[in-house]
Structure 1
Amino acid sequence: MTGDDRDPLAWATKRSEVAYECPGFEIVREDVELPDGTVTDFDYLVDDPAVVLLAFTPGGDVVLVEEWRQAVGRVNRALPAGGVEDGDDDLAAAARRELAEETGYEADSVEQFGEFEPANGIANAVHHYYVARGCRPTAEQDLDFDESIRVTTTPYEDLLAAVRDGDVRDGRTALGVLHYELRAD
């Protein structure tokens, strides 16, 4: 069990099994006992950790991806992001790799600025946010077979306004931009 199982709110996991598996994620079903003694089942999405990049060009624009998202049936404008792979002990290196693979941009520097559980009521995903600076298109995109991505750039203030106005609907992007803005000096 992860977390603090001594907390009086903690659930006791009695049994755990993979109920469904496909490329990219699993669904786990657990038999759990609630604090009041009720026994029930709980299903959740097992999703690999991810890195999300707020990537700035030398001129101060932000590198974005426009990607088809089948679940919502539209192109989504978002910060570059990608899964942390087995053996990725250095998350900053994973962030650099994902930026290059998705966009063809490489960064002079990357620095972590946040870590969030975006949907911890239904998934165990953790997103690690990085700000990347000095990003230039010096690499080749290396997309997965199921990725349809167009790379764009936009001034940071325009991205901030798009998040504020609800024009950017991607949750990872909105969370990253707003957190960055709140912590900015």
Structure 2
Amino acid sequence: MDEYKWKTLSTTYVHKGPWATLRADKCEMPDGTIVDEYYVLEYPNWANAVALTEDNKIIMIRQYRHAAGIVSLEIPGGVIEEGEDKEEGMRRELLEETGYAFNSVELISTVYANPSTAGNVTYCYLAKGGKKVQEQSLDEHERIEVMEYTIDEVKQLLAENKIPQALHCTGLFYALMKLGAIS
């Protein structure tokens, strides 16, 4: 597949920010065609988790998402900090957003949000044995409501298109397959 790869000739940064960076790459395609400006968004890597409580309920969160202008039903997750182990980052995000700690956390998939414009990875986990151990510890701009649903209720929410975040739907489908709840 290397015969399909482009060669990056130069990179110019258009914007650098804490959550997103935009660069323009000048590239050469395998057939020699030059692409003068290919725009790439640089985001940090993310992790999310289908988090099951001790009584086998799936923890979901509801929060406002300004770019889309929606209140979104999601699974917990967030940015993996620079230098942070991805599983440790996931456990930290679960604790901060929900107040729950988990007996086990297993990586079930690695996906890209949009590999045509961004190179960051989302690590999807299945967390089991969740127990509430503290109150939420939210960032300054986070307002998150924690909710619990049965597996059947989550399957119905997916069937009714009530979970709008694509990466979270992906994680849910992988987890439901792993749990034998769908085939």
Deviation at 1:12, TM superposition (A): 0.9
**1:108-123 mapped onto 2 (5 Å cutoff):** 108-123=103-118
- Equivalents in 2 of 1:66, 1:83: separation in Å? 17
Q: Deviations over 1:22-49 (max 9, x none)?
A: 2212112111112222212111111111
**Aligned pair partner of 2:128 in 128, 133, 155:** 133
Q: Which amino acid aligns with 1:150?
A: E
Check if 1:47 corresponds to 2:43. Answer: yes
How far residue 184 of structure 1 moved from its aligned partner, in angstroms, is 3.4
How much has 1:140 moved relative to structure 2?
2.7
CA distance in 1, matches of 2:116, 2:141: 27
1:66 aligns to what SS in structure 2? strand
Asked if residue 101 in structure 1 is aligned to residue 96 in structure 2, the reply is yes
Amino acid at match of 2:165: D
Q: Read off the aligned partner of 1:129 and give its amino acid letter.
A: C
- Once the 2 structures are TM-superposed, how far is the Cα of residue 182 of structure 1 from its aligned partner? 2.8
Aligned-partner Cα distance in 1 for 2:58–2:178: 17
> 2:146: which partner in 1?
151
Equivalent residue pairs, number: 179
Instruction: Establish whether residue 14 from structure 1 lines up as the match of residue 9 from structure 2.
Output: yes
Matching residue's letter, 2:59: V
- Deviation string for 1:60-108 (max 9, x for gaps)? 11111101001111110000011111221x3221111110111111112
Structure 2 gap segments, 5+ residues each? none
Residue in structure 2 matching 1:183, options 163, 178, 182? 178
Amino acid of the structure 2 residue aligned with 1:19: V
* TM, length-normalised to structure 2: 0.91
| Residue 169 of structure 2 is aligned to residue 174 of structure 1 | yes
Report the Cα offset of residue 109 of structure 1.
1.4
Match of 1:25 in 2: 20
Give structure 1 stretches of 5+ with no counterpart.
Answer: none
Q: 2:9, 2:141 → 1: CA distance? A: 37
For residue 142 of structure 2, give the secondary structure of its aligned residue in structure 1: coil
1:154-165 aligned within 5 A: 154-165=149-160
Normalised TM-score (structure 1): 0.90
